[in-house]
Chain A
Amino acid sequence: MKQTKIYTGALLASVLMTGTALAQTELSMWYHGAGSDVEIALVTQVIDDFNASQDDWEVVLESFPQESYNDSISAAALSGDLPDIVDVDGPIMPNWAWAGYLQPLPIDESEFDDFLPGTKGIWDGKLYSIGLWDAALALYTRQSTLDDLGLRTPTLDDPWDKDEFMAALDAAKASGDYEYAVDMGLAWTGEWYPYAIGPFLQSFGGDIVDRSTYLTAEGVLNGDEAIAFGEWWQSLFTEGYAPGTSQDPADRDSGFISGKYAFSWNGNWAAVAAIEGGVDDIVFLPAPDFGNGPTIGAASWQFGVSASSEHPEGAAEFIKFAAQDKYLAAFSDGIGLIPATPTAAAMTERYQEGGALNVFFGLSEAQALVRPVTPGYVVAAKVFEKALADISNGADVADTLDAAVDEIDADIERNNGYGF
C-alpha cells in the first residue's frame, strides 16, 4: 500500500511538472560566442528578461565556439536538428537561406527601418536575419606615433592614399622603435581575411567575385587591379612591414598595446581592450584609399529563424525583444561594437556624440561595403583566404589569383550559378 502511494505521488508530481513546462514552449537558441564571457553574459541577460517578461515562450541557450559554430549548424541541418533561433554571420546568411536552413523572418521589415544597412540580412528580396550590431575596421595608432613620425592625420574626407600610407610604414620601419610597422592580423585565420583584407582589394579596384552577375570572378580577382593589390600585399611581408602567417595569436591581441606594432588594422571590437589596456592617446584612422575609394568591411553576426522551427512566431518575438534599443546599447557597451540604431548609439558610452568610438559610426556610414551577397560566398571566402595566405608566404601573385578564380568559377558552375 505504501508503495502504491509513493508511485502515485511520483506520477502526479511528474505530470504536474510537465504540465507547468507545457505552459511555456521551449525555444532552443544557438549562439557562437562560447569563450567570450561578456557576450554570453549579455545574451543570457536578454534571454532571462525575455523569459520573465511573458509566459508563452522560454528560450534556452546553447553556446558554441566561434570557429566550429558554422560546422555545427551544417551538421545539425543535415540531421534535422536545427534550433529555433540561430545566430548567423552576415555574409554566410545567403548560403544558409539558399540551402534551406533559414526561413524569412516573420517580422515586418518596417520594424527595422532605422537599423544600419549592414545589420539587415536581405537575400532574394526577403529579410532573413537582423543584427544587433555592426562591425567596422580602422587603422589603430597612437597620436604620439603620428607626431613622432611627423605624419599627417588622415580624416574621413581626406584619407591617406597608397603613397602616403606606404610612407607612413616606411617611417615607422626606419625609426627602429617597432618590431613591425603594421599588424594585419594574419594570426586570425578564418573570416578575418575576406572581411578585413577584402576591402583593400576592393579599394584597389578588384573584388572577390563579380558583383554585377555573381557568376564569375574572372577579371575582378585576377585582373590588373587585383594583381596590383596582390603585389602590394606581398611586398608588406617580403619587405618586413608586417608579421606574416606565423604570427602568434597572443601578439595579435597584445602587440599593438605593448608597442610592438606602430599601426594595427583591427576591428572596433578590439578597441575596448586597447583603450583599457592603457593606450591613452589611441586614434582610429580611416582606411587608406588605394585608388577606388577607401573601403572597410560591414555586417556581423545576426539573428535568424531556422526553417525547421515549429514556432517561428515565438522566435520572432524573441528577436523583436532583443532588438530593443536598451539591449543594442548594452551589447555595444559590453563588446564595443557599433549599435544598430542611432538612438541606441546615443545611449551608449562610446558611440554617442563625442564618445571615444563615435568615429566608427561615421566610418561605417561612409566606407562600409558588405562582402559579396551570394550563397557561393562560403567557398569564395575559403578560396580567397588561402590565396591571401599563399601570397603572404611568397607564392607567385598572378598564378595564385588565377587558381583562386578558377576554383571559384568551378564552384559556381557546379552549383548551377547558385540561383543567379
Chain B
Amino acid sequence: MASKLTTSNRSGWGFALPGFSLIVLFIVLPFFFAFGFSLTNQRLISPNPTEYVGFENYRNLLGFGLVTLEPERSDDGAVVRDDDGEIAYPRLRTITRSDEYPQYRGMREWFRWQDGENAKVVIASDVVFLRALTNTFLFVIIVAPVQGGLALGLALLINQRLKGINVFRAIYFMPVVVSIVVVSLLWRFLYDVSDGMFNSMLGFFSFGLIGPIDWLGNPDTALPAIMVMSIWQAVGFHMVIWLAGLQTISPTLYEAAAIEGASKWQTFRYVTWPGLRHTAVLILIVITMQAFALFSQVDVMTSGGPLDSTQTLVFQAVERGYGKQDISGGSTISVILFLIVLTISLIQRFLTRER
C-alpha cells in the first residue's frame, strides 16, 4: 500500500527510523511485554521456568471483601467497652487467620466504619497497593489544578513587557532544569525535623510558639510535603507552556477590550481565558499523566513511608518488580496504571472536546 505518506516521504522515514526504532524497542515493546508478564509468574531471574497463571496477579492485587464485626459481649449480653468508652471488637486476625474463612486468608484491614453497634470492615488482599492507589489519586487531584493554576498565575506575571522580565522567566524555570533527584535530596534537608530550614523559619517567625514539625516522618504531613515540592519543581515547565498560549492571543482583542472599558478581571475572563482553551486542555492532560508517574521524590525522600502515606503506584511497581524480584507483580501494577491513565485521558478529552 504505497500512499503519498510513505512514497514521497521516503527520506523523512529514513531520518526518523533510528529514533522511531529505539522508541519501539524501549517503550512500545516493553509495554506489550508488561501485559504478557502480568499473566505469568515471571521473576527477575530464577532457575524456575516461567508459568502462565492467568489473572491470579490481578486477583491478588485487587481482591477485597467485606466483614461485619459484632461487638464483644459479656456473659449477660451487654456490649463490652474498653477504657475510652469505645466498643471492643474481636481482632480481625481471628477471622482472617481462622480455618472457617479460607477465602479471607492473607487479607488485611483497609478501612472500617461503624454501622450501629457493628463495625463494617473492608479487607483487601493487598492493602499497600490500594493505599498507593488512593495516594496517587489524591496527589493527582490536588496537584493538577494547583500546579496548573499557579503556572497560569506566573505566566500572566511574566507576560508583561518589563525590563529584565527574562531574568524572572529564567528564575522560575530553573527548578525544572535541576534533576528531580537532586531537588528531592535538597528538600529532604529542608524538611529535616531538627535542623531543617522550614522548621527553623517556623520557630523564628512564630517566636518559638510553633514547635518543630516532623514533615516527612508524620503520616499526615508527608504527602502534602511531597506535593509542595513537586509543584515547586514542575511549575516552571507549565508556566512556559501557558506563556506560549498567552502570546498567541491577538493583541487587537486586548485593545478592543480596553476600548470597551473592561476591568482586569473581565479582560481575563472574556478575552484571555477563551483564548487559552487549547493550552488548558494540553496542560491538564500533561500534568495528570506526569502526576500519575510520581516516583523519584518518594524513592529519595520517604521510601513509601511513614505508614504507607507516601506509597505511589510507580514506586510500588518498581519496589515489587526490581526490589522484590517479582516482575509479574510490577507488570500488573503497570498495566493497571496504564488503564487508569488511559481512562482519565479519554474522559478529559471527552469533557474538553470542541462542541
**Footprint of B on A, CB under 8 Å?**
71, 74, 77-78, 98-101, 189, 244-246, 248, 251, 378-379, 382-383, 386, 389-390, 393-395, 398-399, 402-403, 406, 410-411, 414-416, 419
What residues on A are CB-neighbors of B326 within 8 Å?
Answer: 379, 411, 414
What residues on A are CB-neighbors of B102 within 8 Å?
Answer: none
Selected from B217, B219, B323, the residue in CB contact (under 8 A) with A382 is B323
Q: Closest chain A residue to B309 by CB distance? A: A393
Selected from A74, A389, A410, the residue in CB contact (under 8 A) with B45 is A74
What residues on A are CB-neighbors of B48 within 8 Å?
Answer: 415-416
Would you give the shortest CB distance from A379 to chain B, in whole angstroms? 5
A99 to B48, CA, bound (A): 9
Q: Tell whether B47 is near chain A: CB-to-CB under 8 Å.
A: yes
Given known contacts A378-B325, A399-B108, A403-B127, A246 and B216 CB-to-CB distance under 8 angstroms: yes
A224 to B48, CA, bound (A): 35
Given known contacts A382-B324, A389-B305, A248 and B194 CB-to-CB distance under 8 angstroms: yes
Given known contacts A244-B217, A411-B326, A402 and B306 CB-to-CB distance under 8 angstroms: no
A394–B307 touching, CB < 8 Å? yes
**Footprint of A on B, CB under 8 Å?**
41, 43-48, 60, 91-93, 96-97, 106, 108-109, 127, 192-195, 214, 216-217, 219, 303-308, 319, 322-326
A398 to B93, CA, bound (A): 8
Would you give the shortest CB distance from B342 to chain A, in whole angstroms? 29
Would you give the shortest CB distance from B325 to chain A, in whole angstroms? 6
Sampled A-B contacts (19; CB under 8 Å): A74-B325, A77-B45, A99-B46, A99-B47, A100-B47, A245-B306, A248-B193, A248-B194, A379-B324, A390-B306, A390-B308, A394-B307, A402-B97, A403-B108, A411-B324, A414-B41, A414-B326, A415-B43, A416-B48
A399–B109 touching, CB < 8 Å? yes
Selected from A74, A248, A398, A399, the residue in CB contact (under 8 A) with B44 is A74
Would you give the shortest CB distance from A89 to chain B, in whole angstroms? 15
A170 to B60, CA, bound (A): 45
What residues on A are CB-neighbors of B106 within 8 Å?
Answer: 406, 410
What residues on A are CB-neighbors of B325 within 8 Å?
Answer: 74, 378-379
What residues on B are CB-neighbors of A246 within 8 Å?
Answer: 193, 214, 216-217, 306
What residues on A are CB-neighbors of B303 within 8 Å?
Answer: 189
B219–A393 touching, CB < 8 Å? yes
A398 to B108, CA, bound (A): 11
Considering residues A74, A78, A379, A402, which has the most beta carbons from chain B within 10 angstroms of its beta carbon? A402
B46–A415 touching, CB < 8 Å? yes
The 8 closest A-B pairs by CB, nearest first: A246-B217, A393-B306, A406-B106, A99-B45, A379-B324, A393-B307, A403-B108, A246-B214
A101 to B45, CA, bound (A): 9
Would you give the shortest CB distance from A380 to chain B, in whole angstroms? 10
A378 to B324, CA, bound (A): 7
**New contact pairs (8) apart from A382-B319, A390-B305, CB-CB < 8 Å:** A246-B306, A379-B326, A390-B307, A393-B219, A393-B307, A395-B307, A399-B93, A415-B48
Would you give the shortest CB distance from B26 to chain A, in whole angstroms? 14
A74–B47 touching, CB < 8 Å? no
A98 to B44, CA, bound (A): 13
A74 to B303, CA, bound (A): 20
B108–A74 touching, CB < 8 Å? no
What residues on B are CB-neighbors of A245 within 8 Å?
Answer: 217, 305-306
